[in-house]
Amino acid sequence: MPEEPDRSKDENVQLIKEMYGDKDNLDENIAPKKGLIAKLKYRIAQLKKKNAEEDKLEEEAELADIEEQKKKKEEKQAAAAVKKENAKKEKEVKAAEKKKAKDAKAAKKAIEQAGIDPAQIDLIILGTSSPDYCFPNGACEIQAKVGAVNAACFDISSACTGFVFALSTAHAYISSGLYKTALVVGADLLSKLVDWTDRSTCVLFGDGAGAAVVTAAESGIIGLNMHSNGAKGGVLTCGSRSTGNFLLGKKPELGYMTMDGQEVFKFAVKQVPECIKEVLEETGNTADDIDLFVIHQANYRIIESIAKRLKVDLEKFPVNMEHYGNTSGASVPILLDELNRAGKLKQGDKLVLAGFGAGLTWGAMLLEW
């Protein structure tokens, strides 16, 4: 397009000609005319004002453009956040289905190995810290999967001590005569509770499930203990999966696991040997009488320290954490099942089971295989 003439420039030239005359006659008209000078100043002021207005309009247009780009970026980020949230929800749904399948698979295997009809089970206790729902409880879900139609069902939340506490509870019910056959399950899906940006925790944990059928018998659990210290609960926590409340104007958010590793280590290496010694003393046994120590699979250094404090050969402490990580409430029954299937457990063997975890909770039991 052809350039438009700069009219303001032409007008200024005309004003100068009026003030000084033609270029060739400048000497004759050198004295400026006061009225024309005032007019020129006024015109220059107008031009400055006009230029300022144009600059302002240009700046406003640039700001509007920036604001529009910012708005588009925010909309894009919001869409990406929604997509990410939907993907996370889909992942959690799949994880929940995966956990249900694991829980039921472990329970079915235990029932098959026990050689009983599921209808004979009158009690199901699930030790878990990662249930699929607030309600119904996970034990009821397992009941539906295995067909234990006559069972009373409930969950125990004791994190990594879950199976030991659940087994202790089942023992108490059966010893009292209230129930005859219990299905005890330890299961956790920690992959949905860890913060995958926190490398201090996410690389340590795994998913798993283990189960046992418990009935009254002459051999079995000889002694046990359970302990807790809520004052130290803050060293290992996982916030509620809905930490907010719409009624309070806060959108529910997901909570993730946090852990003070050094404090957990100090707690474990002190309390676990003590509770093992406690159960041995109460049953009139010594560490030398025990064939195997089946300890919660949290950390190899913790197990080394426990063995050292008990003055027991480390060979009596089987481990499998290198295969599964820390599976929380599932670690003890998984290890127990592996030892059994590998033929490493003989009738009459004395075993110590011990768990420790969030709460803080810890406990031990002595049983005869």
Nearest to 194 by CA among 127, 138, 254: 254
Structure tokens at 43: 């015109």
Angle between helices 138-146 and 34-114 (to 10 degrees): 50
What is d(CA 185, CA 182) in angstroms, rounded to the nearest whole number?
Answer: 10
What is d(CA 314, CA 307) in angstroms, rounded to the nearest whole number?
Answer: 6
For 33, residues 6+ apart whose C-beta sits below 8 A from its C-beta are 18, 19
Active site residue 160: yes
Nearest to 160 by CA among 236, 239, 224, 103: 236
Contact (CB, 8 A) for 352 and 279? yes
Residues 153, 238, 275, 296: which is the catalytic one?
296
DSSP 8-class letter at 60: H
What is d(CA 192, CA 15) in angstroms, rounded to the nearest whole number?
Answer: 81
What is d(CA 307, CA 294) in angstroms, rounded to the nearest whole number?
Answer: 11
Active site residue 171: no
Active site residue 275: no
Nearest to 47 by CA among 104, 19, 97, 8: 8
DSSP 8-class letter at 196: T
What is d(CA 144, CA 132) in angstroms, rounded to the nearest whole number?
Answer: 15
DSSP 207-225: EEEEEEEEE--SSSEEEEE
What is d(CA 216, CA 54) in angstroms, rounded to the nearest whole number?
Answer: 93
Structure tokens at 220: 């079995």
What is d(CA 352, CA 363) in angstroms, rounded to the nearest whole number?
Answer: 10
Residue type, 275: C
Residues 171, 225, 275, 326: which is the catalytic one?
326
Residues 140, 153, 160, 238: which is the catalytic one?
160
- Cis peptide bond upstream of 273, omega within 30: no
The count of C-alpha atoms lying within 13 angstroms of the C-alpha of 234, restricted to the half-sphere facing its C-beta, is 1
Active site residues: 160, 296, 326
